[in-house]
Structure 1
């Protein structure tokens, strides 16, 4: 019995993708983000699609702190697949851009597919009189979980407006769920969140607090796009949230599904076939996918080389990839 327990413990330390049961089943752990964001329902839905396919794979979705955590966890084998911002995945691959990655590039990171645009939402309480990013100076601002992609986006966008985190009255590094409470209790004036349009966290704030969406536009947006080419302009449609009566200009990065060379070609191919091979079901997982995902877009803006399993899948679909 002791030997059996020790063996199981050793296998667990090797990462879930390495665990093979007698019946030949491979377990894949998919890293997502906060339960109130878009990553989590998308990852949960994909895990179910993989499990339902019955192709010798089992998958489970895990809520995490977000993109930066996910990229580090891919490196340690704690995660086998993850959803992340494409800029954060690139920085992790190159070992640059973010302190957590400096000098520690992970060239084993591989892309699977681009999912949808992740739009910067800057939500402010109307009673805070924040109409521009510049108005955040001296305010109490939620910038996302420590190590999240949102935190990095907040830094870069504020930089375009001549602000640093030190210029804020209070920098609040908390989860989106905690950010909601802080906004509701007037302990936060504004909140940054890089997420697909329609995220439940933003909708919940808008339902319970009078808010406005702060634009990112003009020369500041132009300078941001010039310095950080992962960003694109994106308009948050009118009526996306309660109280948002007009289109609001902002910027977006891309949500991308990534994995590692430690995961076999066969496993990634089967996971791709189970999820991206059922496009209608995939797009039904969340409006962000439904409105934006297409097969052609899935291979544009990739932050790292494609995994061989993804190459095999996309070639079968008639795309010229390598």
Structure 2
């Protein structure tokens, strides 16, 4: 009569030991209204569904700068970040959060898709050009964010700085959207993947325009900051914007802590990018832009050894 009890105790012990043996990955993303969060959530689900003794949990965060610092502190093990911010962090330059304090504990896993600089304005503000932002109330992103840095570079290309704005508003994406809706701001910079729900929701309630960044200005940005590309936001990406808009973009990338074992990262990649069809189904930006060859092109920080093993195995790297 005692055997079932003994067996249940043994079974519980085996399960407990299995749980202790599993690797746990907290995956940093961004705002729930952006693209990072659904992408990180989708990647985490693929990891969890693969039964590889690794459990992943996507966490909403403040974005690139926070994610890199959180990997350095051990709070996160993987994250999505802008490629330019990863470069500045690894080299300890440009951004006050990293200047003179390089973060050498981050490693590349994959380049994913373009992160587009959206310059969103209220239609009644009659802002048609970046030059028209002079004297206006402009949301430039959170302090130390990737958006803030991109905003500086765009304004610089037009001979402007934050001091030329009528009001420089530092706010999160969700707070910025609210201020635009309530007429407390005229324009907003937001570096995010195409189709971000924050901008989609704004366009449903407020008449807005996307302001282009002119090709010659993008070239000027590229000469000084080589991470920028020229991209086009297709017409009808957002309600009321039927015309395509030229703008600049950086790239989103997946990074990992160098403390994660090569086996763990290799197994994670086999379960995610190795299942390319399911990986691309996570989000339209991955379906449109992600490629295996592009995943290792122009990496701003060293590749994680586990990722290197994976890409060599599939023939992307020699």
Q: TM-score, normalised by structure 2?
A: 0.92
Task: Classify the secondary structure of the residue corresponding to 2:21.
Answer: coil
Taking the TM superposition and a 5 Å limit, the aligned residue runs for 1:218-297 are: 218-297=215-294
Map of 1:140 onto structure 2: 137
- Would you say the 8 A contact 1:133–1:215 is kept in 2? yes
SS across alignment from 1:291:
helix
Report the counterpart of residue 316 of structure 2 in structure 1. 319
1:21, CA displacement in angstroms? Answer: 6.5
**Within the alignment, does 1:124 sit opposite 2:121 as a pair?**
yes
Q: Match of 1:111?
A: 108
Distance (Å, rounded) in 2 between the aligned partners of 1:283 and 1:22: 29
The aligned counterpart of 1:193 is 190
State how far apart, in whole Å, the 2-side matches of 1:295 and 1:220 are.
31
Distance 2:298 2:232 in 1: 19
Gaps of 5+ in 1: 1-19
* DSSP-derived class of the 2:65 partner: helix
- Contact 1:66–1:147 under 8 Å retained in 2: no
Which residue of structure 1 lines up, in the alignment, with residue 155 of structure 2? 158
Q: Is the 8 Å Cα contact of residues 112 and 306 (structure 1) preserved in structure 2? A: yes
Structure 2 runs not aligned, ≥5 long: 1-16
Matched, 1:32 2:20: no
The 5-angstrom pairing of residues 81-96 of structure 1 reads 81-96=78-93
Alpha-carbon separation, structure 2, partners of 1:158 and 1:113:
29
1:179 and 1:285 map into 2 onto residues whose CA distance is: 27
Write out the 4+ residue segments of structure 1 that deviate beyond 3 Å after TM superposition: 20-23
TM-score normalised per structure 1: 0.91
Say how many residue pairs are matched: 302
Match of 2:207 in 1: 210
Does the 8 A contact of 2:116 with 2:249 survive in 1? yes
RMSD: 1.2
Give CA deviations for 1:61-106 in whole Å, capped at 9, x if unaligned.
1111111111111111111011000000011001011111011112
Cα distance in 1, alignment partners of residues 71 and 281 from structure 2: 27
8 Å CA contact 2:128, 2:211 repeated in 1: yes
CA distance in 2, matches of 1:100, 1:145: 13
Q: Structure 2 CA distance, aligned partners of 1:219 and 1:273?
A: 41
**Which structure 2 residues correspond to residues 64-83 of structure 1 after superposition, within 5 A?**
64-83=61-80
SS state at 1:100 partner: coil
Give the structure 1 partner of residue 146 of structure 2: 149
- Cα distance in 1 between the residues matched to 2:103 and 2:20: 32
SS of 2:89's equivalent in the other structure is helix
| 1:23 to partner: Cα distance | 4.2
Maintained 8 Å contact 1:254/1:301: no
The reply to whether residue 97 of structure 1 matches residue 85 of structure 2 is no
Question: Separation in 1 of the partners of 2:142 and 2:201?
Answer: 18
Distance 2:308 2:155 in 1: 38
